[in-house]
Amino acid sequence: MNLLQELLQTVEIGTPQTFGGMTLFPLLRPISAEPDYWTLTEAMNQNLLKITEVSAGGHVPELLCRNLSDRSVLLLDGEELVGAKQNRILNLTILVPAHTDLKIPVSCVERGRWHYNSYEFAVADRAYHPTGRAKKTRHVTESLKRMGSRHANQGEVWADVDEHLMAFACESATAALADVYEKTSHSLNEYVGAFQAIAHQIGALFVVHGQIFGLELLDFPATFGKLLPKFSRSYGLEALKPSRSQRSGVTTADAKAFLTTVAAATMETFDALAEGTDVRLTHPEVIGSALVAKERVVHLSAFPTKIAQSKPRHHFWDDELGF
């Protein structure tokens, strides 16, 4: 049994919490230790980490990250960075070592801008929504297997942003996903306020309108508590999507079955971009990824494969600007 399987088989499922179209099943494990790293938001708010374009001209699928602190910094899959030449999202979870410069793989979520509005990026209070992350996870996994790289399908990401702009009847001068979050900010803040981390909570299974949409597990309760507002906005956007229909619902037994399925997935390991090991999970019913470092599962995310399906678009290595 590996660390991922042990975690999935020993985590306890708590009493579900529901607000609006979303239900959260808390995932609990008694851990008293505190994180030995900063989150991305903590590090950037203290000016301990800088993220910029890789050069004055920029390059869509990668950015330069500089960790100036004495601690590692956790960058979470799907976190959004705003500013510089265009807004981006992180392609995977990365633990950046102390005092390290690192090029990080990203995807663009603002197709209509390619000019500076700031030199450095700022971190947003949200993460990419789970349907987009599921598709991105699938393509990054393919990229790793085929080429040893960590590219997403940029064309598909842009198409996904366009779909959300249309679904929410949102006008955006630069085709930015940020404008969708801005338009729905009041409702999303209600989701943030409705879900609070409880004692020993290291993760959650998120259900949207009666359908499982994703699993998020972190290594420390403190880390999950800090990231829960981002997850609530991410999954909350799915709950607010006008086209969503209500399913019959998910029971605790269903939640347990999903964890069991994730544990049964094929797990392939790759050297992580920075600290640890990158684990890719594939199964007919689920797709996911995990970062394992310092003899623990730092972050595990998994999604039903049915929300990762997409129409064929650009190749996943396509990094053209597109405008």
Per-residue pLDDT tens digits of the chain, which is 323 residues long = 699 999 999 999 999 999 999 999 999 999 989 999 999 999 999 999 999 999 999 999 999 999 999 999 999 999 999 999 999 999 999 999 999 999 999 999 999 999 999 999 999 999 999 999 999 999 999 999 999 999 999 999 999 999 999 999 999 999 999 999 999 999 999 999 999 999 999 999 999 999 999 999 999 999 999 999 999 999 999 999 987 667 778 999 999 999 999 999 999 999 999 999 999 999 999 999 999 999 999 999 999 999 888 654 443 334 433 33
Cα 291 → chain centroid:
12
The CA distance from 235 to 21, in Å, is 10
Joined together, the tokens standing for residue 11 give 């985590």
Torsion of CA 40, 94, 302, 17, to 10 degrees: -20
**Neighbouring residues of 147: CB distance < 8 A, sequence distance ≥ 6:** 317
**Which of 7, 16, 3 minimizes the C-alpha distance to 252?**
16
